[in-house]
Structure 1
Amino acid sequence: MAGHPEMDFVQVFSGDPEFTKLLGRRDDQVNLTAAALELARDVYPQLDFQPVFDWIAARGAELQGPLAGAATDEQVLAAIVECLVHRHGVTGTPDIYDQADASFLHKVIENRTGIPISLSVLYMAVAEAAGLTLRGVGAPGHFLARLDTIDKPLFVDAFRDGLVLTYRECVARLSEQGVERRLIRRALEPVGPRAIILRMLNNLKSLYARQEDWKPCRRVQHRLLALQPADYGERRDWAVISIRAGHAAGALEMLELCLKTCPAEEREFLEQQKVAAHGKLAQWN
């Protein structure tokens, strides 16, 4: 992975064609399943995507009969939940949030569990294989999948055994969480692949940072910076994480760039990071 702050991200991620499409903001052309698997390949470099595609296709084929017999939108979602939760045991578990594998689709399928967003992406992929469209909803705190209907949309909480929620129930749930009324409608709107991948990356970043596992954290931050190269916060975090991951030289260059635009209250922190980076370099020389 390159260490210079002004790197050519398209070249760096040339082996990840779906992620590269996100760099060009071509959401409508992105295969979300493949893009999510490209993230997993940072940790599992020999990952073969085909078994995942095959598993999803098989679930789509299983759903053909039940969906043909579904008379209502609720029955459509019930058929998907029956397939994934009751037949194949795919659901959330309380202890899964501290495991990176819970974000990686091939491990979600293997272990039959994941966090809300990875489970929702799997639901979306299986639905697509069955000829349906589920879309992701980046609701605060808990990602959902959404089925648009003639009336109000329906939502699926893949983490909670495929619990189906009405629009009204989602509004009530967000209100209970303290989300302002004026923000709730927007929070329940569908989001595209770029927003989904950003959220998956930020989940991994938070996990690795809590665990002080800086090498994989830097790989994740590299992708976040690629998606938002002008964002001050992503540049700052890239520099700080790079120092902790043992890449102080590139971090120094990025810190100099950050110091040109940083808020006044962050200047002291960035200067401290420069001292830390110089200290790391001195140890290696």
Structure 2
Amino acid sequence: MAWDPAAKFGQLLQDEEFALHEGALCIAAHGCPDMDFEAEVAQLGELAERCDGSSRDRMLHSLFGELGFHGNRVDYYDPRNSFLNEVMRRRTGIPISLAVLAIAIGRRIGYHFEGIGLPGHFLIRDRDEPDAFIDVFAGGAILDAQGCEELFHQITGGDKGFHPAFLAPVDHVSIMERMLGNLRSIYAQSKDYANLEWVLELRTMCPTVPAGEVKQLGMINMERGRFDEAARRFDELAQFAEDDDEEQLRRLATLARARMN
């Protein structure tokens, strides 16, 4: 029986501690429709078996040295950098996808890594060594808090203030939102509405995504001729909107229904 990656993604979000790699593979399955979920999970297991688990540093050396995983600095905005199956196949990705990979492999060999949502970047840390931050995009380089602050200023150009809260662990749903947010930016920039549609559909399953993205999805639904979906979304938003916004959303819902005929 064919599996439904969107339905599975929604189910995963009900559990705060869902397996990150499963959520990431649900995202990847939308961009790679022929992906075999179980085969990709097995591939993670094979990679874990090839990593030296005797210490954290040796595991990182195995992953980013011997196995050759590295940050994609040449084509950073290639959407394949966000698809975990493609990251495993091509041995390259962006900070957050490499972080999900390292978290998944670490868990298989006894390390509990947490995601650190540094603005403009993404790090991990070992729960047992909370003062050591790992830059997976830079080959597993180890940073202290001062090093993270310097990295932040380097990324942002030094014109934004750093806050220690930037180094707090982020929950799994937030990691999924951010992965999807990267894809949303890529597909919106390229006006790839077919892919932007599924990205927004998954993003709007996440509980903290703003209502504006639901409206954006409704507009994309209309652009792609899915007028019934658009009308439903506008009606749902209108129930909780302020007066002026409600009127606009009702008009959009009416317009969508009119175009169904």
- Letter of the aligned partner of 1:159 in structure 2? F
Q: How many residues align?
A: 255
Report the equivalent of 1:195.
Answer: 174
Matches within 5 A, 1:1-285: 13-14=6-7, 16=8, 19-22=10-13, 24=14, 26-28=15-17, 30-64=18-52, 67-68=53-54, 70=55, 76-77=56-57, 79-149=58-128, 152-175=130-153, 177=156, 178-181=159-162, 184-228=163-207, 231-259=210-238, 262=241, 277=256, 281=259, 285=261
Report the equivalent of 1:6.
Answer: none
Q: CA deviation at 1:146?
A: 1.2
Contact 2:84–2:101 (8 Å) recurs in 1: yes
Contact 1:19–1:35 (8 Å) recurs in 2: no
CA distance in 2, matches of 1:225, 1:13: 11
The TM-score with structure 2 as length reference comes to 0.83
- Two-structure CA RMSD over aligned residues (Å): 3.0
Q: CA deviation at 1:19?
A: 3.8
CA distance in 1, matches of 2:139, 2:251: 47
CA distance in 2, matches of 1:164, 1:96: 24
Identity of aligned residues (%): 25
CA distance in 1, matches of 2:218, 2:99: 32
Residue deviations 1:172-221, cap 9 Å, x none?
3335534434xx22111111211111111111111111111112211111
- Letter of the aligned partner of 1:46 in structure 2? D
Residue deviations 1:209-261, cap 9 Å, x none?
11111122111111111223884223212212212232233213433444565
The TM-score with structure 1 as length reference comes to 0.77
CA distance in 1, matches of 2:201, 2:20: 19
Relative to its length, the structure with more helix (as a share) is: 1
List runs of 5+ in structure 1 lacking aligned partners: 1-10, 71-75
Report the equivalent of 1:4.
Answer: none
